[in-house]
C-alpha cells in the first residue's frame, strides 16, 4: 500500500490518500479536509490494473447525497441509480476538482513521448456540488528525467505545468497542490 499526503494550497487543506494494488485492480481511498470551506470530502476510486477508470464513490459532508459513477465494459457512464449518462459519452477518465490524484490516471495509463500532446475527454466532477460534465483536456510531457517528469496540462484557457514523481503521482501542481509525504506500508 502507498500513502500520499498533499497540501491543498488554494483551500488551506490536506488530502490523505491510500493506494492498494491487487492483481486485477487498484483501489484508491481518500479523505480531504478543506479548512477554507470547513468541509470533509471522501472518495473511493476503482481502477483496472492498467489505470483505466471503473468506478467512483464521492461524499461531501456538506451535501446529503453521494455521487456514484461507473464506466461499464462498453464505455457507457452509469450513475448510482443505474441510469446511463449520455452526456459523458467519449469520456475515459475522471477529473476531480478537489485532488491532484486524478491527473495520475492518464499519466500512468499512457505511453509518453516528449513534446507530443495527448488529448482526452474527462468526466469533470465538482466535488463541492457533485456536478459532472465532460471536459476536453490536453497533457504534454515537456521534461523527463529519472526521478521526475513535467507535464503541461491545459483545459480551455487554463494551463499549468505539473511536476510528477517517477510513479506518476503529482509532486507539485503550482498554486494548488504540493506533495508533503509519500510512504509505502
| pLDDT tens readout for residues 46-100 | 999 999 999 999 999 999 889 999 999 899 999 999 999 999 999 999 999 999 9
pLDDT above 90 coverage of the chain, percent = 89
In angstroms, the CA 117 to CA 102 distance is 18
Q: Does residue 35 have a pLDDT over 90?
A: no
Tell me the whole-structure pTM to 2 decimals.
0.94
pLDDT at 37: 72
Specify the pLDDT at position 39: 87
Give whole-number Cα distances, 183 to 16, 18, 168, in Å.
Answer: 11, 10, 15
Residue 21 pLDDT greater than 90, yes or no? yes
Residue 3 has pLDDT above 90, yes or no: yes
Cα–Cα distance for residue pair 60/130, rounded to 1 Å: 8
Q: How many alpha carbons fall within 13 Å on the CB side of residue 107? A: 25
**For all residues of the chain together, what is the average pLDDT?**
95
Task: Provide the residue count of the chain.
Answer: 185
Q: Burial of 69 by CB count in 10 Å (0-12 exposed, 13-18 middle, 19+ buried)? A: buried
**Confidence at 103, pLDDT banded by 50, 70, 90:** very high
Q: How much is the pLDDT for 154?
A: 97
pLDDT value at residue 73:
86
pLDDT of residue 101: 98
Cell matching residue 116: 507530443
129-134 average pLDDT score: 96
Mean pLDDT, to the nearest integer, of 33-44? 88
Sign, Cα dihedral of 75, 16, 96, 155:
negative
In this predicted structure, the answer to whether residue 38 has a pLDDT above a threshold of 80 is no
Label the pairing between strands 25-34 and 13-21: antiparallel
pLDDT at 146 exceeding the cut of 80: no
3-state helix, strand, coil in the chain (%, to 5): 5, 60, 35
The three cell numbers locating residue 111: 505511453
Amino acid at each position: 500500500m502507498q500513502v500520499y499526503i498533499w497540501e491543498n494550497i488554494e483551500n488551506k487543506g490536506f488530502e490523505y490518500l491510500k493506494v492498494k494494488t491487487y492483481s486485477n485492480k487498484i483501489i484508491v481511498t481518500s479523505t480531504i479536509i478543506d479548512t477554507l470551506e470547513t468541509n470533509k470530502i471522501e472518495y473511493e476510486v476503482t481502477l483496472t490494473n492498467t489505470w483505466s477508470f471503473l468506478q467512483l464513490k464521492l461524499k461531501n459532508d456538506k451535501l446529503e447525497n453521494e455521487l456514484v459513477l461507473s464506466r461499464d465494459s462498453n464505455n457507457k457512464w452509469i450513475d448510482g441509480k443505474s441510469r446511463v449518462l449520455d452526456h459523458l459519452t467519449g469520456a475515459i477518465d475522471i477529473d476531480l476538482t478537489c485532488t491532484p490524484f486524478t491527473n495520475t490516471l492518464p499519466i500512468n495509463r499512457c505511453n509518453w513521448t516528449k513534446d507530443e500532446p495527448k488529448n482526452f475527454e474527462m468526466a469533470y466532477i465538482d466535488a463541492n456540488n457533485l456536478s459532472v460534465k465532460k471536459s476536453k483536456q490536453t497533457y504534454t510531457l515537456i521534461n523527463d528525467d529519472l526521478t521526475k517528469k513535467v507535464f503541461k496540462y491545459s483545459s480551455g484557457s487554463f494551463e499549468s505545468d505539473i511536476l510528477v514523481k517517477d510513479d506518476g503521482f503529482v509532486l507539485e501542481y503550482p498554486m494548488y497542490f504540493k506533495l508533503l509525504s509519500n510512504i509505502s506500508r
